[in-house]
């Protein structure tokens, strides 16, 4: 009987780790496949705003409005923020566009135009 105990105890670290992983997956009911990298990453922030300037090459300035509640008076106030966004689509002043967060493209440009929601009249 001592031999059986020793044989079971000589399990390698990799085998014990994989056995522990399989048990956890069996308990949760999930498959043993790893999670895709795109799902595990942070979801990129999206904003919708109005194009206020298109005078630069492949860059537009997008004004995004949000409502914030006043701390003392509890009344909603409009706050505006300007973002510089990379534009391959060709948005013009007055268009409403959807922008998404991206890697830094220049000193002030960290957003990219994904779609034109509404064309200017």
Per residue in 26-84, pLDDT (tens digit) is 555 555 555 565 556 789 999 999 999 999 999 999 999 999 999 999 999 999 999 99
pLDDT confidence band for 121 (50 / 70 / 90):
confident
> What total number of domains does the chain contain?
2
Residue-range definition of the domain harbouring residue 84: 46-118
21 and 78 together in one domain: no
Q: What is the mean pLDDT of residues 104-117?
A: 97
pLDDT at 13: 46
pLDDT at 17: 47
- Domain of residue 78, CATH code: 2.40.50.140
Backbone φ and ψ for 51, nearest 5 degrees, come out as -75, 120
Tokens 């795109």 belong to which residue?
Answer: 38
62 and 9 together in one domain: no
Is pTM beyond 0.75? Reply is: no
d(CA 115, CA 83): 15
* Alpha-carbon torsion, ordered 5, 28, 38, 98, to 10 deg: -160
d(CA 51, CA 20): 54
* Contact in structure between 81 and 62 (CB atoms under 8 Å): no
29 and 50 together in one domain: no
59 and 6 together in one domain: no
89 and 109 together in one domain: yes
């Amino acid at each position: 009987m001592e031999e059986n105990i020793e044989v079971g105890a000589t399990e390698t670290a990799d085998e014990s780790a994989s056995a522990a992983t399989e048990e956890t997956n069996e308990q949760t009911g999930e498959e043993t496949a790893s999670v895709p990298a795109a799902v595990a990453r942070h979801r990129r922030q999206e904003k919708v705003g109005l194009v206020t300037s298109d005078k630069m090459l492949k860059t537009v300035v997008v004004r995004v409005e949000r409502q914030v509640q006043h701390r003392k008076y509890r009344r909603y106030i409009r706050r505006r923020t300007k973002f510089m966004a990379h534009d391959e689509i060709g948005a013009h002043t007055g268009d409403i566009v959807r922008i998404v967060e991206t890697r830094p493209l220049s000193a002030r440009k960290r957003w990219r135009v994904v779609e034109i929601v509404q064309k200017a009249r």
